């Protein structure tokens, strides 16, 4: 039978101490829901009373119907000038009504004398007294032995004494912390083994990543006997972060046979990773192991050819196990195997003998030589491939396009205007003028204004991201520019690319591809009546029939139409 690992997440407490991260109350509650769905066992909610947000969190989180997650309140041993019963910090921990309390204490004599400024004996009293006071009043008390590994290397006997004081006073789990993040895996393994031998009981591990060893150190601790693993989603945390649970969990479960999550829960890992990035307002790390978009991306022609024959040739696990997916990247390194794999993904019927295949390979290599990049622009790639194979139908012709940009040196706001004339397949010519906060925004508004009568689905398209890259830094203002645009609507997201010495033209190429791609994108069925009703309620001014039409869905006959939504005040 697999050994059980208890997963303790500190994303909303330790993770929020990272530079640039500040979770709102709703962010923290949302993360709690997501971690519960993932199947984690504990969430460290924060220090009750340290700020109004944390205090409110413990009040609100009790109302969530959590199935797997237990909420822990975090605090320190009682102040030397108070008894445990009169210590304000311990009162706040109990006042949170959390079923689990994690108490952090000093295990390094350096901190005892220089930071806490008490004797080593008095520090032992603080640890024992705090845990002895809390243990009968809550379901579980964990002891976080702060700086334990540094303390052990400095004074092994005293570091072990602090653990014994906590264990003998009722701590259910002794969590060994590599707080400065400077230890190495072999040190972690040796010290945890000694603790298991001389102290016993349940052992946990909490590693920081200052030496880029947090994941390796966590796994070394588990191999030596630790059974509670602490970390954060995506490794967020103070300084260089904490052990990344998105790597720790699949490593332990898939590679080492430990029981962490069910297989269905593990499939939610990538989704949870993305959610926490969104709540933290951080850009996702594409190259993050297991859950990054590039974790199972294949670019080299030899690699692609091999995985088409057997995925195990260049993948250490099946991507779907952690909720990820395989991606074939197309570049000047691509061969026919890559193109055929991508064609299958796009629903294009190609084979190696089809002249279109050779044409696509040659065209991609030439365009990449000119500066185009299709790895983040699969919308443009699909357009190119379908045009080459005769699967593309023209939706509009741009007859004329002009952009005006006015820049003033005084206080007057810069002015941008775009004038567009397009012709649609029915022979009609549409003329539109639009202002924007820049030339790209003006062009975007004008082209959609011209087309929306024929193609109402363009109304919901948003420009989500806009990246500009100078391809030849030595050419100064004459340098060739690559523009990558990410667009999206209720059907999903897609990327397009443009390249030119003129940044406006490069942007125009990417923008036109974006709209052209959406017009050829297959309509997707709405997720369901509930999602549509939520959307209607938020907007408050569209009829149900119109909303259903815009999202491309149909109301199931078995469902009853909801009453017309009231307009929001």
Give the tens place of pLDDT for each residue, 276-296.
998 898 888 989 999 998 898
Percent of the chain with pLDDT over 90: 54
pLDDT of residue 476: 63
- Of 257-261, 283-287, 519-523, give the lowest mean pLDDT range: 519-523
Nearest to 105 by CA among 141, 147, 138: 147
- Residue with the larger pLDDT of the pair 374 and 443: 443
Contacts of 6 (CB under 8 A, 6+ apart): 41, 42, 204, 227, 228, 229
Q: What residues form DSSP beta bridges with 403? A: 418
Diameter of the chain measured on Cα atoms: 90
**Is pTM, for the whole model, over 0.75?**
no
Tens-place pLDDT, residues 357-389: 777 777 777 776 677 767 667 778 787 877 777
Instruction: Inform me whether the pLDDT recorded for 549 exceeds 50.
Output: no
The CATH classification of domain 397-520, taken from the options 3.40.50.720, 1.20.120.160, 3.30.70.1140, 3.30.160.270: 3.30.160.270
**What's the 3-state SS for 138-157?**
CCEEEEEEECHHHHHHHCHH
DSSP 3-state assignment of 297? strand
Residue 46 backbone class (left: φ over 0; alpha: ψ -120 to 50; beta: rest): left
List the domain boundaries for the chain: 6-279, 297-388, 397-520, 528-569
Least confident of 317-321, 354-358, 542-546: 542-546
d(CA 557, CA 568): 28
Residue pLDDT, tens place only, 450-464: 999 899 988 888 888
Helix or strand or coil: residue 2?
A: coil
Q: Could you tell me which residues come within 8 angstroms of residue 314 by beta carbon, excluding any fewer than 6 positions away?
A: 298, 303, 306, 307
Q: Cβ(270)–Cβ(293) under 8 Å?
A: no
Average pLDDT rounded to a whole number, residues 409-415: 68
* Alpha carbon distance 293, 325 (integer Å): 8
CA 170, CA 133: separation in Å to the nearest integer? 9
Measured between alpha carbons, how far is residue 198 from residues 79, 142, 143 in Å?
29, 19, 17
pLDDT per position as a tens digit, 179-214: 999 999 999 999 999 999 999 999 999 999 999 999
* Parallel, antiparallel or unpaired: strands 327-328 and 140-146: unpaired
Query: Which of the four pLDDT bands, split at 50, 70 and 90, describes residue 131?
Result: very high
402 touches 431 (CB < 8 A): no
The span from the CA of 154 to the CA of 157, in Å, is 9
d(CA 9, CA 43): 5
Q: Is the pLDDT of residue 421 over 90?
A: yes
How do residues 305-323 score in pLDDT, each as one tens digit?
787 788 888 899 999 999 9
What gap in Å lies between CA 150 and CA 9, rounded to an integer? 23
Number of H helices, E strands in the chain: 21, 16
Fold of 6-279: TIM Barrel (3.20.20)
Q: How far is the C-alpha of 288 from the C-alpha of 518, rounded, in Å?
A: 29
User: For position 563, what pLDDT does the model report?
Assistant: 38
Q: Are 171 and 142 in contact (CB under 8 A)?
A: yes
pLDDT for res 174:
98
**pLDDT score for 297:** 83
156 pLDDT above the threshold of 60: yes
* Strand 228-231 relative to strand 202-207, pairing: parallel
Question: Measured between alpha carbons, how far is 73 from 102 in angstroms, rounded to an integer?
Answer: 6
CA distances 95 to 77, 169, 278, 422, 478, Å, are 16, 21, 31, 66, 65
Query: CA–CA distance from 252 to each of 6, 18, 44, 183, 276 (Å)?
Result: 11, 26, 21, 20, 21
Nearest to 28 by CA among 41, 46, 48: 46
Number of Cβ within a 10 Å radius of residue 416: 20
How far is Cα 140 from Cα 173, in angstroms, rounded to an integer?
A: 9
DSSP label at residue 565: P
Reported as a single tens digit per residue, the pLDDT across 168-182 is 999 999 999 999 999
Give the separation between CA 194 and CA 224, rounded to whole angstroms: 9
Q: How confident is the model at residue 57 (pLDDT cuts 50, 70, 90)?
A: very high
Determine the Cα–Cα distance for residues 253 and 370; give it in Å rounded to an integer: 45
pLDDT-derived band at 411, boundaries 50, 70, 90: low
Q: Looking at residue 299, what is its pLDDT?
A: 74
Closest CA to 372 of 483, 294, 475, 293: 483
């Amino acid at each position: 039978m697999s050994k059980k690992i208890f997963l303790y997440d500190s994303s909303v407490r330790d993770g929020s101490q990272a530079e640039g991260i500040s979770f709102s109350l709703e962010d923290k509650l949302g993360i709690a829901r997501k971690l519960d769905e993932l199947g984690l066992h504990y969430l460290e909610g924060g220090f009750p009373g340290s700020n109004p947000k944390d205090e409110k969190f413990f009040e609100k989180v009790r109302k969530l119907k959590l199935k797997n997650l237990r909420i822990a309140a975090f605090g320190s041993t009682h102040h030397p000038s108070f008894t445990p019963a009169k210590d304000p910090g311990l009162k706040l921990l109990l006042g949170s009504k959390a079923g689990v309390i994690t108490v952090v204490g000093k295990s390094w004599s350096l901190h005892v004398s220089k930071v806490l400024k008490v004797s080593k004996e008095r520090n032992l009293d603080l640890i024992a007294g705090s845990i002895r006071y809390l243990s009968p009043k809550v379901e579980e008390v964990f002891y976080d032995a702060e700086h334990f590994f540094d303390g052990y290397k400095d004074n092994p006997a005293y570091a072990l004494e602090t653990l014994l004081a906590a264990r003998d006073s009722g701590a259910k789990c002794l969590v060994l912390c590599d707080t400065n993040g400077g230890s190495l895996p072999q040190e972690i393994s040796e010290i945890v083994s000694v603790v298991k031998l001389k102290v016993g009981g349940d052992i946990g591990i909490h590693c920081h990543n200052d030496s880029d060893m947090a994941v390796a150190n966590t796994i070394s601790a588990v191999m030596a006997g630790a059974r509670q693993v602490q970390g954060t989603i995506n490794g967020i945390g103070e300084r260089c972060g904490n052990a990344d649970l998105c790597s720790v969990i699949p490593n332990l479960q898939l590679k080492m046979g430990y029981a962490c999550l069910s297989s269905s829960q593990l499939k939610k890992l990538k989704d949870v990773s993305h959610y926490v990035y969104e709540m933290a307002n951080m850009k996702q790390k594409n190259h993050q192991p297991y859950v990054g978009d590039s974790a199972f991306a294949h670019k080299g022609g030899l690699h692609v050819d091999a995985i088409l024959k057997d995925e195990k040739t260049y993948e250490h696990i099946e991507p779907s196990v952690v909720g990820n997916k395989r991606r074939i990247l197309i570049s000047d390194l691509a061969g026919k195997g890559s193109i055929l794999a991508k064609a299958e993904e796009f629903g294009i019927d190609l084979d190696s003998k089809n002249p279109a295949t050779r044409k696509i390979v040659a065209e991609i290599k030439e365009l990449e030589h000119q500066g185009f990049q299709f790895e983040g622009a699969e919308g443009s790639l699909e357009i190119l491939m379908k045009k080459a194979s005769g699967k593309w139908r023209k939706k509009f012709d741009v007859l004329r396009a002009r952009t005006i940009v006015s820049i003033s040196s005084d206080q007057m706001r810069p002015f941008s205007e775009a004038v567009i004339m397009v012709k649609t397949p029915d022979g009609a010519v549409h003329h539109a003028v639009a202002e924007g906060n820049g030339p790209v925004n003006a062009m975007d508004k004008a082209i959609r204004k011209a087309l929306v009568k024929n193609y109402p689905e363009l109304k919901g398209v948003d420009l989500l991201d806009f990246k500009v890259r100078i391809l030849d830094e030595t050419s100064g203002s004459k340098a060739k520019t690559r523009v990558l645009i990410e667009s999206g609507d209720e059907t999903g997201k897609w990327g397009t690319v443009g390249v030119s010495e003129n940044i406006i033209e490069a942007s125009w190429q990417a923008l036109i591809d974006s709209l052209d791609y959406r017009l050829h994108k297959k309509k997707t069925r709405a997720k369901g009546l509930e999602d549509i009703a939520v959307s209607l309620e938020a907007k408050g001014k569209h009829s149900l029939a119109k909303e259903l039409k815009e999202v491309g869905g149909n109301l199931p006959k078995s469902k009853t139409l909801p009453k017309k939504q009231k307009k929001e005040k």
